[in-house]
Amino acid sequence: MTFNQRTALVTGAGRGIGKAIAEVLAKNGVTVICVSKSPDSCGGVAAAITAAGGKAKAVPVDVANGAEVTKAAEALLAEFGKIDILVNNAGITRDGLVARMSEEDWNAVIQTNLTSAFHWTKAIGWPMCRARYGRIVNIASVVGLVGNAGQANYAAAKGGMIAFTKSIAKEFARRNVTANVVAPGFIKTDMTAVLNEEVQKAAIGMIPMQRFGDPADIANMTAFLCSEESNYITGQVFTVDGGMAM
């Protein structure tokens, strides 16, 4: 994969999938801006990348807060001159059946998982268009394609992210900015570690490859979509799920 000394911003880079994405990009010579809510987690990831010889900066931002995102994006664009790659990965779950779901849990998931991508894209996507180069990768979920009982808020956010990505792909295509989605299935992270044994067993039963994926599986697909080699791919959804949603 070729990256030509690009700069990337990865949200939710403090752990799990976002951390793996930040690491694989950094290994390929990309300067990585690691964003997460907690300064400790993105700070730890950026420090480890730097210690391994890579280039990284930690920026704590609550992506659910539009004003905070806009302010951080402006400061980073002033500091780095340009951001070539944007990976919207930060996400949360607040599961529950619709009948029992609070409006607060609905809003928190939509705000964190979907509206955040709107704010980052607005702030960073347009400068990419002006520079006539950009790669945007949004991390959705297979749940955004097929739905899931108990996750209406999460599925709506992820399905919304897919439609949002196709729309910006159409808006930005003529300016050489691509936008694609990676839709993971079950991946071994803190997000799935909270599932009880019974749920994990049932999930594995639905996966033809009969195991959860690793964060690196998502990171490798994401990195390809961020590389120069993906230059004629836009508006697409790539499921990485061991065959679950085929």
Residues involved in catalysis? 154
Out of 16, 43, 125, 134, name the contact with ligand NAI by CB under 6 A: 16
| Contact residue for ligand NAI among 64, 109, 219, 240 (CB under 6 A) | 64
Q: Give the phi and the psi of residue 40 in degrees, each rounded to 5.
A: -65, -45
Site string for ligand NAI, 162-201 (x = CB under 6 A): ----------------------x-xx-xxxx---------
Considering only residues 25, 139, 155, 179, which one is a binding residue for ligand NAI as defined by CB under 6 A? 139
Sheet containing 31-36, strands listed edge to edge, beginning at the edge strand earlier in sequence? 55-60, 31-36, 7-11, 85-88, 134-139, 177-184, 237-240
Q: Does 89 bind ligand NAI (CB under 6 A)?
A: yes
What are the beta bridge partners of residue 35? Answer: 11, 59
Helix or strand or coil: residue 38? Answer: coil
Helices (H) and strands (E) in the chain, counts: 11, 7
Q: Is 204 in the site for ligand NAI (CB under 6 A)?
A: no
Rule CB under 6 A: is residue 87 a binding residue for ligand NAI?
Answer: no
d(C-alpha 194, C-alpha 182), whole Å? 22
**Between residues 3 and 186, which has the closer beta carbon with respect to ligand NAI?**
186
- 242 binding ligand NAI? (CB under 6 A): no
| The only residue of 30, 46, 63, 128 in contact with ligand NAI, by rule CB under 6 A | 63
74 and 124 Cβ atoms separated by less than 8 Å: no
Q: How far is the CB of 12 from ligand NAI (least distance, A)?
A: 3
- Give the contacts of 37 (CB within 8 A, at least 6 positions apart): 14, 60, 61, 62, 63, 90
User: In sequence order, what are the beta bridge partners of 110?
Assistant: none
CB of 33 to ligand NAI, least distance (A): 13
Residues that bind ligand NAI (CB under 6 A): 11-12, 14-18, 36-38, 41, 61-64, 89-92, 112-113, 139, 141, 184, 186-187, 189-192
